[in-house]
Amino acid sequence: MNQLVRCLFFTVFFLVGCAAVYTDASDSNHVTFLNSDGDSIESLTQKANAYCAQYGKTASFRKSDTSLVAVFDCNYPKLNLR
């Protein structure tokens, strides 16, 4: 049993270590990417839109604190009432 726990731990650790772009502290109003792989803003925007879509929202780029952190806001789509 102890060997199984070790195997699962190392598997999870390895998979997390492979993630080049991942979200941290995201919710229905924003998504933050920690981008250690240097993905473009366009690529991150697509990922942010996929994340925000689960809340019926679209992503808009807010800021980039460093080359590793990009923050997107999740906003409801603007309605064109014409």
DSSP state of 22: E
Q: b or e along 18-27 (b: 16 or more beta carbons within 10 Å of the residue's beta carbon)?
A: eeeeebeebe
- The 10s digit of each residue's pLDDT in 27-69 is 889 888 888 788 888 999 999 999 999 999 999 998 776 778 8
Chain centroid offset of residue 34 CA = 8
- Residues 36, 21: Cα–Cα separation, whole Å: 6
pLDDT for position 34:
84
- The pTM of the full predicted model, rounded to 2 decimals, is 0.64
Chain centroid offset of residue 25 CA = 9
